[in-house]
Amino acid sequence: MGPNTSGEFIIGVDLGGTNVRAAVVTRDGKIIGDGRRPSLAMEGPDVTIPEIIAAIRDAIKSAGVEKANICGIGMGVPGRHIPKEGIVLWSPNFKDWGGLQLLAPIREELGIVAYMGNDVNVACLGEFQFGAGKGVSSMVMITLGTGVGGGIVLNGKLWAGANESGGEIGHHVVNAGGVRQCGCGNFGDLESEASCRAIVDRALRKIYSGRKTSLADQVEPKYLDLTPAMIAAAASEGDELSIEVLSEAGHFVGIGVTNVINILNPEMVVIGGGISQAGPALWDSILRTTKAMALKESLEICRIVPAALGDDAGIMGGVVLVLQEMENK
């Protein structure tokens, strides 16, 4: 069962640990209908899959289109998969998803062909075709948030690796002497140095050492509610400790960007995720480090830019999955 090449609309789905969002999108990237449901990730696939289907139905109803006019469904799903078989090998925050057949029940229930890929890779495709990367042929995306993810597009095609494990930019080491351990087990990788947890941990260490900061007025006495957003706000108001924390995180992101540029020589590096919005203290450090360390010839042709699609990146990447299947048919 292939995509409906005569259809006018495509459904993009972004599956997260908290919510699942579906949208009906025109072939040229205009969202015309939206649906959102709780993903209920820890209640198991028998609960989550019906929520995915319900979100898709909500989107179709919102758009007011007929199923017969839909080309297909494209989904971004956390974790590792065998995309061509519709199987999830492992997915963080989702209970009992090892070896799960995800796509078949969706196809059977809705009568619409469905495709999937890793959520960050799919978001990268969205930014590449409809967002910041529109018009380039090679692009790397880095997402800074609860974790640090990545996606790679080379010569217009997503590079997922020999067994769909490629693009894990968050897990390459940028600080060989790092003391923070990542969830993957490594020390000093980009995620352990520039994720939400790493930024908060770095701030707390400085606060506990006796450093003065305006953050103390917000989170006393135990600083348990400290967030990267609070640190970014304090930095924007000139708090030296907060500026220093974001600058240090930016330095490690800059090392990661440098490695990407030196190894892959892309036209563009796109940086997204919630942390990417932390402001000049972070971005100036990223650019300063990259300028100092990247190979001149590669850096000259590479633009380092913020992501453009925000929360729509995963949705639009799902659209791209279907469009690519239609091109290959």
**Terminal CA-CA length for the chain:** 11
Task: Encode pLDDT of 70-86 as tens digits.
Answer: 999 999 999 888 998 99
The reply to whether 162 and 101 lie within a common domain is: no
Q: Is residue 4 part of a domain?
A: no
Helix (H) and strand (E) counts for the chain?
A: 11, 13
Residue 219 has pLDDT above 70, yes or no: no
Q: Is residue 2 part of a domain?
A: no
Q: Is residue 225 part of a domain?
A: yes
Task: Encode pLDDT of 220-231 as tens digits.
Answer: 656 568 899 999
Residue 76 CA to residue 107 CA, distance in Å, equals 16
The reply to whether 303 and 324 lie within a common domain is: no
CA angle 259, 260, 263 (to 5 degrees): 80
- Give the number of domains in the chain: 2
The reply to whether 151 and 273 lie within a common domain is: yes
The reply to whether 299 and 317 lie within a common domain is: no
Place of tokens 């990146």: 313
Domain of 98: which CATH number? 3.30.420.40
Task: Encode pLDDT of 236-270 as tens digits.
Answer: 999 999 999 999 999 999 999 999 999 999 999 99
Q: Is residue 1 part of a domain?
A: no
Q: Is residue 126 part of a domain?
A: no
Range with lowest mean pLDDT among 97-111, 204-218, 272-286:
204-218
Tell me the whole-structure pTM to 2 decimals.
0.90
CB of 25 closer than 8 Å to CB of 2: no
The reply to whether 212 and 245 lie within a common domain is: yes
The reply to whether 205 and 266 lie within a common domain is: yes
Range of the domain at 65: 9-118+312-328
